[in-house]
């Protein structure tokens, strides 16, 4: 029996703060917290939730972590090689077997295959082993009060207070520094809206109950737009030459089009037309690994905006579904650290918005690289090399 989603959805719509209030951030903490309190009371949060709020405080360690992100300053091969390890593959397979009936129920109800859920479960917390040591209420409070991204965190506060008020979570719940809770690191609003009591004990326990975690995670993914019965990603082989400027996640084309240009299944056999459209993603350029990404892959980017993280999560899901490790092929040397920052500076000097000079090959940097590759007559694959840098 799940939480009554419809009722809660209506409830959450009622308690959505007015836009002006939602943008409030910074300033005197006590005054700011009074604003949250008024919002919580209007949403029906009772004494237990309000008492928790009265003890909430700013956690400087959360701000430090928020300012110090940099784990995606790695190539796909490096990051996925570190994240997809034997422990996760072995335990992923074991958990798919151990909870086979729950995964089957999750796929039946929400259309999300077990390996997709198990891959997030592995990457986020090693199947619940590492859920985070930050006080969740303080973390969410801190990031909602901070002015860097209040629009992301302010909407999490009242749902979290509601969960505490109802006794679903204790006031001292611990989780990730950015407010995610439980074995698949779900935010309070998803906990409240998508939470499902998978083991039927009457409580949604996303920290301690694997069936609750599996069903809730499937529910969350389905609500983000997952399409039942469709693939998410497929490794392919690419030819030596093709219209590289057609590659990229967002340029979705029928598989017949990719086949026409010489793209094949990984083993060289012809692509079967499955009636779907996919983009061709080359995370390390046209000489590196290659994947067709379908609409369902886009759902991964709602989970995490990092291209490298999402490719890794999607590939781990494919591994858990039986695929072999991707072929690294022979990618051209890329740019890392200072040389990536130098490239970004040169792109900024040329008038591009690369989304900050952070040494990370994100969407904006890739797009600027593609435009410069086109101008210079190089293969337009979004993979910056020392040769490109020397040409700018």
Site for Ca ion (CB under 5 A): which residue of 209, 306, 312, 385? 209
Pick the stretch among 102-110, 194-202, 224-232, 242-250 that binds Ca ion (CB under 5 A).
Answer: 194-202
By CB under 5 A, how many residues form the interface with Ca ion?
A: 7
Task: Note whether 201 binds Ca ion by CB under 5 A.
Answer: yes
**Helix (H) and strand (E) counts for the chain?**
19, 7
The residue (of 178 and 196) whose beta carbon lies closer to Ca ion is 196
User: From the CB of 169, what's the least distance to Ca ion, in Å?
Assistant: 13
Residue nearest to Ca ion (CB): 197
Cβ distance 335 to 384 under 8 Å? yes
Structure tokens at 98: 């151990």
Contacts of 285 (CB under 8 A, 6+ apart): 331, 332, 334, 379, 381, 382, 383, 385
DSSP 137: H
Site for Ca ion (CB under 5 A): which residue of 39, 180, 190, 212? 212
User: From the CB of 203, what's the least distance to Ca ion, in Å?
Assistant: 5
Pick the stretch among 73-81, 173-181, 198-206, 217-225 that binds Ca ion (CB under 5 A).
Answer: 198-206
The residue (of 219 and 247) whose beta carbon lies closer to Ca ion is 219
Contacts of 43 (CB under 8 A, 6+ apart): 11, 14, 15, 158, 162
How deeply is 369 buried, as exposed, middle or buried, from its count of CB atoms within 10 A (0-12, 13-18, 19+)?
A: buried
Strand partners, 277: 254
In a 13 Å sphere around the CA of 202, the CA atoms on its Cβ side amount to 2
Task: Note whether 312 binds Ca ion by CB under 5 A.
Answer: no
User: From the CB of 52, what's the least distance to Ca ion, in Å?
Assistant: 22
The residue (of 185 and 247) whose beta carbon lies closer to Ca ion is 185
Site for Ca ion (CB under 5 A): which residue of 24, 197, 235, 372? 197
Residues that bind Ca ion (CB under 5 A): 197, 199, 201, 203, 205, 209, 212
């Amino acid at each position: 029996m799940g939480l009554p989603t419809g009722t809660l959805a209506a409830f959450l719509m009622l308690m959505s703060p007015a836009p002006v209030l939602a943008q409030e951030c910074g300033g005197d903490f006590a005054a700011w917290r009074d604003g949250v309190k008024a919002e919580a009371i209007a949403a029906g949060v009772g004494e237990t939730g309000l008492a928790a709020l009265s003890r909430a405080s700013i956690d400087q360690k959360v701000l430090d972590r928020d300012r110090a992100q940099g784990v995606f300053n790695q190539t796909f091969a490096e990051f996925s090689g570190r994240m997809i390890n034997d422990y996760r593959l072995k335990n992923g397979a074991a958990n798919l077997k151990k909870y086979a009936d729950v995964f089957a129920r999750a796929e039946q109800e929400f259309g999300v295959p077990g390996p997709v859920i198990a891959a997030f479960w592995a990457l986020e917390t090693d199947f619940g082993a590492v859920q985070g040591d930050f006080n969740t209420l303080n973390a969410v409070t801190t990031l909602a009060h901070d002015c860097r991204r209040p629009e992301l965190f302010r909407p999490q506060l009242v749902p979290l207070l509601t969960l505490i008020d109802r006794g679903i979570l204790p006031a001292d719940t611990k989780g990730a520094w950015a407010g995610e809770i439980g074995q698949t690191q779900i935010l309070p609003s998803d906990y409240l809206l998508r939470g499902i009591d998978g083991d039927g004990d009457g409580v949604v326990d996303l920290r301690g109950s694997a069936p609750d975690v599996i069903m809730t995670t499937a529910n969350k993914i389905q609500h983000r737009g997952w399409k039942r019965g469709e693939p998410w990603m497929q490794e392919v082989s690419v030819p030596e030459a093709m219209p590289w400027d057609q590659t990229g996640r967002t340029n979705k084309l029928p598989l017949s089009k990719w086949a026409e240009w010489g793209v094949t299944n990984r083993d060289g056999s012809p692509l079967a037309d499955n009636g779907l459209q996919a983009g061709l993603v080359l995370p390390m350029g046209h000489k590196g690994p290659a994947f067709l990404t379908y609409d369902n892959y886009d759902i991964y980017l709602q989970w995490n905006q990092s291209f490298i993280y999402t490719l890794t999560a999607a590939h781990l899901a494919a591994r858990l579904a039986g695929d072999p490790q991707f072929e690294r092929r022979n990618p051209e040397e890329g740019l890392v650290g200072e040389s990536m920052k130098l490239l970004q500076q040169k792109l900024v000097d040329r008038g591009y918005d690369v989304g900050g000079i952070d040494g990370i090959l994100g969407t904006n940097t890739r797009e600027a690289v593609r435009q410069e590759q086109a101008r210079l007559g190089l293969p337009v694959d979004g993979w910056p090399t020392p040769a490109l840098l020397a040409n700018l």
